[in-house]
Structures are given as C-alpha cells and as structure tokens.
Amino acid sequence: MILASQSPRRRELLSYITEDFTVMPAKGEEKISEGASPEETVKALSRQKAEEIHSEHKGEIIVAADTVVAIDGEILGKPRDKEHAAEMLRKLSGRVHSVFTGVCVIFEDGSAANFAEETKVEFYPLSDKEIADYIATGDPMDKAGAYGIQERGAANVKGIVGDFYNVMGLPVGRLARLLRGHI
C-alpha cells in the first residue's frame, strides 16, 4: 500500500489501520474546478493524487486524501501569512464550519473508490488576543483553516459532529471499512 501524502498526520492516522505501507507524496499541480463545492473539490484533488501515484505503481493499493475547511460556501486553505491566518480565525470564531476530507483509494486491480467525509466543527468566540496568541505559536500556518484540532487549536473547539480524525485529515473508520479484505 502507498500513501500518496506528505502529511505526518495522515501517516499517523493510516498507521491506526495498518503498518504495512510506504509514503510517496504526489508532486503534480492541484487543479481545482472553478465553482466546485468543497465536497467536489476534495474528491477531485484526492483522485488526482491517487492517479498520479498509480500511474507509476500499478498493482499497488494507493490511498490519497485532501482536506479543506469551508464556511459560508468559501473554502479556507492554508494561510498565506499571519494576517491571512487571523482573517480565517475571525471567520471561524463563534461559528460552525465544515471540514471535508476527500479520499481516493485505487485497488490492485485498478478499480477505485472516491468519497468525501464531512465533519461539523463549532468554535468558541475568539478574542483578538486569543487569535494573536494562537498564531504566535506557529501552529496555524501549515493547516487548512489555520488550525489543527489535535494541537493547540483544540482549545478553540466547542464541539464537533462527525469523525474527529476526519478533521485531522483522514476519516479512519470509513477508510478502514473500505480497505477490509484488501489489507
């Protein structure tokens, strides 16, 4: 099995299902269709990554994923800089948003499964000082939506509805069931 991701979090989460995999990040440019929903976007991006690695490694199981945070129909990717991170966190403050992870698995025979998982996350209201202090930790800078639920960002989360691990970047339970009989 090959994990088509450089994310240390995805590597850790896939190890909850199996230890028998290698990591090979996709390197291609991510192509997003304009006007696509967050769900369509993550499904398409995960499929692009899986197909890129599959083209070089036929006969292997390929697992690829992509995660976005969305609020009011807007996809929040990784912040460009500290100001952009603060803008994102202000949008999330005191509100419910969605985290979508798209997963694509290409099996040994070339057949594929592609799905998106949604988890709702509610943030506590955040003061400007709380936002600034959180950004100063550096944690938000490499994460979609400018937070990591598994790190200091957990202090901002009032509650979730759905798969916790999906918010970290891989819906472990659903993926484990999909891989049953293949690993």
72 labelled catalytic: no
Residue 58: other Cβ atoms inside 10 A: 11
* Count of residues making up the chain: 183
Identify how many contiguous H helices and E strands the chain contains and give both numbers.
6, 7
Q: Choosing from 20, 66, 128, 139, which is the catalytic residue?
A: 66
* Residue 3: C-alpha distances to residues 8, 17, 44 (Å): 11, 12, 17
Q: Is 81 exposed, middle or buried (0-12, 13-18, 19+ CB in 10 A)?
A: exposed
What is the distance between the alpha carbons of residues 40 and 157, in angstroms, rounded to a whole number?
Answer: 26
Contacts of 176 (CB under 8 A, 6+ apart): 16, 17
Active site residues: 66
